Amino acid sequence: MRGDDKTVSSFFAFTFHFRPLLKILVFAAAFVVLGVLLYYGLRGVGAITAPPSSTGKEGP
Protein backbone atom coordinates (compact mmCIF):
# COMPACT_ATOMS: atom_id res chain seq x y z
CA MET A 1 0.00 0.00 0.00
CA ARG A 2 1.96 2.97 -1.33
CA GLY A 3 5.24 1.87 0.18
CA ASP A 4 3.92 1.57 3.74
CA ASP A 5 5.50 -0.55 6.39
CA LYS A 6 4.00 -3.90 7.29
CA THR A 7 2.32 -2.67 10.49
CA VAL A 8 0.19 -0.11 8.64
CA SER A 9 -0.71 -2.56 5.90
CA SER A 10 -1.69 -5.37 8.27
CA PHE A 11 -3.68 -3.03 10.51
CA PHE A 12 -5.45 -1.58 7.47
CA ALA A 13 -6.32 -5.12 6.36
CA PHE A 14 -7.55 -5.91 9.90
CA THR A 15 -9.97 -2.94 9.79
CA PHE A 16 -11.79 -4.55 6.86
CA HIS A 17 -13.25 -7.09 9.30
CA PHE A 18 -15.36 -4.25 10.72
CA ARG A 19 -16.45 -2.77 7.40
CA PRO A 20 -19.82 -4.62 7.27
CA LEU A 21 -20.56 -3.43 10.81
CA LEU A 22 -19.72 0.14 9.81
CA LYS A 23 -22.06 -0.06 6.83
CA ILE A 24 -24.92 -1.46 8.89
CA LEU A 25 -24.52 1.15 11.61
CA VAL A 26 -24.24 4.08 9.21
CA PHE A 27 -27.19 2.94 7.09
CA ALA A 28 -29.27 2.47 10.25
CA ALA A 29 -28.37 5.98 11.43
CA ALA A 30 -29.15 7.38 7.98
CA PHE A 31 -32.51 5.60 8.05
CA VAL A 32 -33.37 7.24 11.41
CA VAL A 33 -32.28 10.71 10.26
CA LEU A 34 -34.16 10.34 6.98
CA GLY A 35 -37.24 9.24 8.90
CA VAL A 36 -37.09 12.31 11.14
CA LEU A 37 -36.55 14.63 8.17
CA LEU A 38 -39.45 13.08 6.24
CA TYR A 39 -41.77 13.05 9.26
CA TYR A 40 -41.32 16.72 10.13
CA GLY A 41 -40.94 17.76 6.49
CA LEU A 42 -44.24 16.18 5.50
CA ARG A 43 -45.93 17.59 8.59
CA GLY A 44 -44.66 21.04 7.58
CA VAL A 45 -45.90 20.63 4.02
CA GLY A 46 -49.23 19.42 5.37
CA ALA A 47 -49.53 22.46 7.64
CA ILE A 48 -48.78 24.82 4.74
CA THR A 49 -51.11 23.18 2.26
CA ALA A 50 -54.00 22.43 4.65
CA PRO A 51 -57.27 24.20 3.82
CA PRO A 52 -58.15 27.06 6.21
CA SER A 53 -61.13 25.17 7.66
CA SER A 54 -58.90 22.38 8.96
CA THR A 55 -56.62 24.82 10.79
CA GLY A 56 -59.52 26.33 12.71
CA LYS A 57 -59.11 29.77 11.10
CA GLU A 58 -61.98 31.50 9.34
CA GLY A 59 -61.40 32.80 5.83
CA PRO A 60 -62.16 36.39 4.76
Q: Please state, in angstroms and rounded to a whole number, the distance separating the CA atoms of residues 3 and 21.
A: 28
Name the minimum Å distance from CB 9 to another protein.
10
Write out the residues near another protein by the rule CB under 8 A: 2, 4, 8, 11-12, 15, 19, 21-23, 25-30, 32-34, 36-37, 39-40, 43-44, 47
DSSP string, 2-13: TT--HHHHHHHH
Q: Could you tell me which residues come within 8 angstroms of residue 52 by beta carbon, excluding any fewer than 6 positions away?
A: 58, 59
Name the minimum Å distance from CB 50 to another protein.
12
Name the minimum Å distance from CB 44 to another protein.
6
